[in-house]
């Protein structure tokens, strides 16, 4: 997707396609949790669509911690953090998250989508310039667009290109560099150590969204800063807790002064109901588990990815180059993407089809999360299913 193109999902042309193939891959009615098998219309589907990488959404330790918090705090504080939502658990948890990441301070937003828009909108002025990876998530793009600043997209993960752009941008008041850690449609990892070096060299503020990195990359699952051995990070860090951590919510961490500024100058924090304490309790338990077992969890996840990825590759399937724990088969057109997704669905496998504008036009992919609770039998079944679909419909993979 070029940066100028819409980031909003516009399901118009696809309606005909859905009618033709009699299958809509979106808004499937699921009547179970994000378990290994999702229940749809009374049948069980192998769930490779959920971002429940570490199966923590169903972990009994997390559920127990959340039940305890529910009993103590109830369902919601029914108020904004500034008014009456700043429960004790917020402060101790902010400290816990900051220590986990090796950063100074943290705030919780109702979601990372909201957090990304909020922080960019609060920090960036019309006289500033933002350099942004052209594959960045729509929440980051939406945040940047809300500011009237100068926007300079850089080629995906291209540090040389970014440096050239920065060098040619001397007249702006402040400079920001915005990127993700793991690009979730394809699984590439940003060279964030190099990007961070550039930020230090040219006095830019880095903003990294680690939504698909936290719990997944870094030797012990601490995310992009651990993965790239970045210490004393001076920029802004955001992440969703709704992926590998298995909960829901957004984290923003960084230096004390920036976080304190956001506490009083970020309207979507100040004017939105505080993230319920039950979700904070779940997040802390998830981080505790990753803190204790992260290395083992990351290794098993990476091993599952490697098995599926290499087997599919060996069988002639075209996958995106992926360094993270994501397997995406390149399907190209919307029609092929939906048809492959349907064929997998017919074999009781649930996947995520990405089409434009989530990816560039005709660069559709079928994404699978090689979740940690997959065993050999399921991984063999996935590869077997792809082989059978290709045998019956070679044109879908030509």
For 47, the 3-state DSSP assignment is strand
The residue (of 109 and 309) whose beta carbon lies closer to ligand PLP is 109
353 with 336: CB under 8 angstroms?
no
**Closest of 45, 37, 10 to residue 342, by C-alpha:** 45
Q: Which stretch, 26-34, 108-116, 262-270, 282-290, contacts ligand PLP (CB under 6 A)?
A: 108-116
Exposure string of 203-222, with b = 16+ CB inside 10 Å and e = fewer, is: ebbbbbbbbbbbbbbbebbb
Please give the residues from 122 up to 181 whose contact with ligand PLP meets the rule CB under 6 A. 137, 139, 180
The residue (of 213 and 277) whose beta carbon lies closer to ligand PLP is 213
What pairing do the DSSP bridges indicate for beta strands 175-180 and 204-209? parallel
| Cα–Cα distance, 381 to 234 (Å, whole number) | 45
Q: Which stretch, 5-13, 107-115, 119-127, 157-165, contacts ligand PLP (CB under 6 A)?
A: 107-115
Quote the tokens at residue 126: 């019309």
The 306-345 contact track toward ligand PLP, x by CB under 6 A, reads: ----------------------------------------
CB of 51 to ligand PLP, least distance (A): 8
Of the candidates 45, 113, 196, 237, which one interacts with ligand PLP according to CB under 6 A? Answer: 113
The residue (of 111 and 351) whose beta carbon lies closer to ligand PLP is 111
| Cα–Cα distance, 108 to 97 (Å, whole number) | 10
Examine residue 354 and tell whether it contacts ligand PLP (CB under 6 A): no
Binding residues for ligand PLP, how many (CB under 6 A)? 14
**Closest of 324, 313, 303, 4 to residue 186, by C-alpha:** 324
**Closest of 236, 301, 276 to residue 84, by C-alpha:** 276
291 with 100: CB under 8 angstroms?
yes
| Cα–Cα distance, 308 to 310 (Å, whole number) | 6
Q: Which stretch, 91-99, 110-118, 280-288, 358-366, contacts ligand PLP (CB under 6 A)?
A: 110-118
28 with 43: CB under 8 angstroms?
no
The 231-250 contact track toward ligand PLP, x by CB under 6 A, reads: ---------x-x-------x
Q: Which stretch, 121-129, 209-217, 270-278, 289-297, contacts ligand PLP (CB under 6 A)?
A: 209-217
Angle between helices 277-314 and 88-101 (to 10 degrees): 30
The residue (of 151 and 396) whose beta carbon lies closer to ligand PLP is 151
Examine residue 211 and tell whether it contacts ligand PLP (CB under 6 A): yes
- The site for ligand PLP (CB under 6 A) is made up of 111-113, 116, 137, 139, 180, 184, 209, 211-212, 240, 242, 250
């Amino acid at each position: 997707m070029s940066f100028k193109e819409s980031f909003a999902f516009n399901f118009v042309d696809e309606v005909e396609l859905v009618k033709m193939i009699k299958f809509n891959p979106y808004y499937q009615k699921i009547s179970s949790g994000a378990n290994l098998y999702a229940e749809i219309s009374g049948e069980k589907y192998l769930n490779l669509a959920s971002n429940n990488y570490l199966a923590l959404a169903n972990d009994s330790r997390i559920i127990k911690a959340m039940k305890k918090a529910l009993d103590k705090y109830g369902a919601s504080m029914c108020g904004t953090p500034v008014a009456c939502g700043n429960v004790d658990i917020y402060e101790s948890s902010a400290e816990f998250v900051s220590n986990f990441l090796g950063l100074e301070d943290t705030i919780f937003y109702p979601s990372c989508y909201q957090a990304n828009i909020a922080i960019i909108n609060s920090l960036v002025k019309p006289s500033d310039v933002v350099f942004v990876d052209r594959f960045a998530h729509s929440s980051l793009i939406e945040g940047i667009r809300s500011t009237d600043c100068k926007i300079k997209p850089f080629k995906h993960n291209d540090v040389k290109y970014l440096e050239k752009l920065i060098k040619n941008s001397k007249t702006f008041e402040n400079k920001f560099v915005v990127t993700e850690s793991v690009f979730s449609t394809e699984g590439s990892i940003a060279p964030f150590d190099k990007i961070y070096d550039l930020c230090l060299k040219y006095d830019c503020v880095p903003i990294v969204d680690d939504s698909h990195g936290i719990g997944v990359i870094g030797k012990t699952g601490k995310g992009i800063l651990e993965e790239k051995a970045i210490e004393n990070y001076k920029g802004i860090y955001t992440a969703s807790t709704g992926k590998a951590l298995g909960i829901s919510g957004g984290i923003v961490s960084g230096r004390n002064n920036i976080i304190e500024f956001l506490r009083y100058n970020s309207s979507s924090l100040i004017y939105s109901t505080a993230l319920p304490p039950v979700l904070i309790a779940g997040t802390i338990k998830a981080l505790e588990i990753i803190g204790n077992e992260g290395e083992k969890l990351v290794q098993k996840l990476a091993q599952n990815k490697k098995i599926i990825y290499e087997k599919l590759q060996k069988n002639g399937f075209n996958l995106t180059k992926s360094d993270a724990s994501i397997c995406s088969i390149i399907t190209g057109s919307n029609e092929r993407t939906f048809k492959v997704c349907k064929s997998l669905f017919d074999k009781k496998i649930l996947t995520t089809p990405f089409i434009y504008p989530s990816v560039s036009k005709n660069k559709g992919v079928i994404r699978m999360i090689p979740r940690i609770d997959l065993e050999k039998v399921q991984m063999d079944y996935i590869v077997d299913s792809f082989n059978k679909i290709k045998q019956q419909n070679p044109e879908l993979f030509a």
